[in-house]
């Protein structure tokens, strides 16, 4: 064993043990339950106990498709093996998340030059092990840990596929390469499995397609582009076909993803209300106060962000609608139509606000909100002096987590810039692969962000799956320029 290989193994072991301790700390100190936890657990239990993927509705076990079966299947496997205590789910998620740390190192290894690979991999695994933004989701039965693992695995396979298609030689010149088309198929297959956990996972394939369309924009390259797309699509479809067939046979509709609004068959979807909230909801706390109360609790006009009203008359119109809604906390189609009219008027008055500024503000919320939804802290920093006086610990944790968001983003940007500046000569066979790898990761983060700004609730947890890719870029800060070697 060479000194370098011993050093990297020592770093990997130390990082994994440290990451294990951090995740066990979250499980021990901050176990959590989210709104979707009960739904996933009930689906898993009914699947195990009755062989029906469904929920108890009006005293009857009813087949549903409001959630894709990936995470309930994960829970069912844990329940069948270790019992139905939530602690078992959390401990398995700890192990899965440690696997994501190692996948982050593998992604980094593909991006880094051979001469600095060991340093970069060690840095990546340490960064992933210490980053709390995925680690704290190990302590709650939600999809984030499993979705992040599958996304990181798919990203690694697709990076290799794109890189081998870009390079004249296999990366690093190591042995016979697996066919890129097989890798595209395998990457699509993992994305398909991830889609059964989080329905927006195919955005990764969209990012690959975007990068390949730019690279193979010449007509002579279109056959290669088409073959890559076909193999990714076949891999994606394979896990989804049984789910779509089940929904068609059981529910009468070929639903290959989870329904857009997680509605039950025949359930009313408040399109107008959703369109109205999209014209002003930019903060995560507004989600708790308005959208998540719909059809469950009264909505107080005073709890609504003043940005939702362009005039006192508009505020009075909303108050009148909510007064009728609050009588029985049910949004009728007639009330929903009134919200739809408000949404159209607001978009017509300020189209740039609706289609540009609101999405930009939502992007800031997604990436730079303190990620403490699962922790017993407020997340509020304003007014600074009063918040510090009221609860210094709450203020410190909130500020620390908020700054950590900026730090991770800053390290990723700096690492990407260093990669770009230190690319070796174009004659080096690694250069095209690494260049496309960088472009793919940037495209993935941008495509996912743009998509998430268009959904109803800007939840910061939806970008957690991007963190392995960001940390792999951040680890490129540890690569050395050729002159330093």
The residue count of the chain comes to: 485
Position 202 in a domain? yes
**SS3 of 204-251:** HHHHHHHHHHHHCCCHHHHHHHHHHHHHHHHHHHHHHHHHHHHHHHHH
Please report whether residue 297 resides in a domain.
no
Residue at 461 is within a domain = no
CA–CA distance, 258 with 157 (Å, rounded to integer)? 25
Q: Is residue 62 part of a domain?
A: yes
Are 423 and 439 spatial neighbours (Cβ–Cβ below 8 Å)? Answer: no
CA gap 209, 229 in Å, rounded? 7
pLDDT of 3:
53
The per-residue pLDDT for 430 is 67
Answer whether residue 115 is part of any domain: yes
Cβ(12)–Cβ(105) below 8 Å: yes
Using a 10 angstrom Cβ sphere, with 0-12 exposed, 13-18 middle and 19 or more buried, the burial of residue 127 is: buried
Digit-by-digit pLDDT tens for the chain (485 residues) are: 555 555 778 878 999 999 999 999 999 999 999 889 999 999 999 999 999 999 999 889 999 998 999 999 999 999 999 999 999 999 999 999 999 999 999 999 999 888 788 899 999 999 999 999 999 999 999 999 999 999 999 999 999 998 876 654 444 444 445 688 999 999 999 999 999 999 999 999 999 999 999 988 888 889 999 999 999 999 999 999 999 999 999 988 888 888 887 777 778 899 999 999 999 999 888 998 999 999 899 999 999 999 999 999 999 999 999 999 999 999 999 999 999 999 999 999 999 999 999 999 999 999 998 888 888 888 888 888 888 888 889 889 889 999 999 999 999 999 999 988 876 544 455 667 788 899 999 999 999 999 999 988 888 999 999 999 999 999 999 987 655 54
Report yes or no on 439 lying in a domain.
no
Number of separate domains in the chain: 1
CA–CA dist 343, 346 (Å, integer): 5
> What is the structure's pLDDT at 324?
95
Nearest CA among 395, 322, 403, 415 for reference residue 369: 403
How far apart are the C-alpha atoms of 398 and 155, rounded to whole Å? 31
436 within a domain of the structure (yes/no): no
- The reported pTM is 0.92
Domain of 35 in residue numbering reads as: 3-261
Q: Which residue has the tokens 């595209």?
A: 184
Does a structural domain hold residue 48?
A: yes
Is there a contact between 373 and 460 (Cβ–Cβ < 8 Å)? yes
Residue 229 backbone phi and psi in degrees, to 5: -65, -40
Confidence (pLDDT) at 176: 45
Q: 323, exposed or middle or buried, with CB in 10 Å at 0-12, 13-18, 19+?
A: exposed
Cα torsion angle, 203, 99, 34, 190, sign: positive
């Amino acid at each position: 064993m060479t000194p370098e290989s011993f050093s990297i193994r020592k770093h990997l072991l130390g990082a994994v043990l440290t990451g294990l301790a951090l995740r066990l700390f979250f499980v021990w100190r901050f176990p959590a339950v989210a709104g979707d936890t009960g739904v996933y657990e009930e689906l898993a239990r009914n699947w195990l106990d009755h062989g029906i993927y469904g929920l108890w509705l009006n005293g009857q076990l009813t087949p549903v498709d409001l959630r894709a079966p990936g995470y309930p299947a994960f829970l069912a496997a844990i329940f069948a093996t270790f019992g139905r205590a939530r602690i078992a789910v959390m401990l398995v998620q700890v192990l899965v998340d440690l696997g994501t740390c190692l996948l982050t190192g593998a992604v980094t290894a593909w991006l880094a030059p051979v001469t600095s690979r060991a340093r970069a991999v060690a840095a990546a695994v340490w960064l992933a092990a210490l980053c709390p933004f995925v680690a704290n989701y190990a302590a709650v039965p939600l999809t984030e840990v499993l979705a992040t693992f599958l996304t990181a695995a798919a990203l690694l396979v697709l990076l290799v596929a794109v890189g081998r298609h870009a390079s004249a030689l296999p990366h690093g010149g190591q042995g016979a390469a697996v066919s890129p088309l097989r890798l595209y198929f395998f990457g699509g297959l993992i994305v398909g499995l991830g889609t059964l956990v989080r329905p927006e996972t195919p955005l990764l394939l969209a990012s690959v397609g975007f990068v390949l369309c730019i690279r193979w924009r010449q007509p002579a390259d279109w056959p290669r582009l088409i073959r890559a797309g076909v193999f990714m699509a076949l891999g994606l479809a394979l896990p989804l076909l049984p789910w779509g067939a089940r929904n068609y046979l059981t529910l009468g509709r070929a639903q290959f993803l989870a329904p857009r609004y997680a509605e039950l068959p025949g359930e009313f979807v408040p399109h107008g209300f959703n369109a109205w909230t999209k014209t002003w909801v930019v903060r995560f706390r507004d989600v708790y106060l308005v959208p998540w109360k719909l059809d469950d609790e009264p909505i107080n006009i005073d709890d609504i962000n003043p940005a939702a009203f362009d005039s006192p008359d508009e505020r009075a119109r909303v108050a009148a609608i909510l007064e009728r809604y609050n009588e029985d906390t049910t949004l009728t189609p007639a009330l929903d139509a009134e919200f739809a009219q408000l949404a159209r008027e607001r978009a017509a008055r300020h189209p740039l606000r609706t289609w540009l500024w609101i999405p930009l503000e939502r992007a800031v919320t997604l990436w730079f909100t303190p990620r403490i939804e699962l922790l017993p802290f407020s997340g509020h920093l304003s007014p600074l002096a009063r918040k510090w006086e009221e609860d210094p610990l709450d203020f410190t944790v909130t500020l620390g987590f908020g700054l950590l968001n900026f730090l991770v983003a800053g390290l990723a940007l700096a690492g990407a810039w260093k990669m770009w500046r230190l690319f070796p000569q174009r004659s080096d066979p690694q250069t095209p692969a690494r260049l496309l790898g960088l472009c793919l990761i940037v495209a993935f983060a941008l495509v996912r962000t743009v998509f998430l700004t268009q959904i109803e609730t800007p939840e910061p947890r939806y970008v957690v799956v991007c963190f392995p890719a960001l940390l792999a870029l951040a680890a490129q800060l540890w690569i050395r320029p050729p002159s330093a070697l």
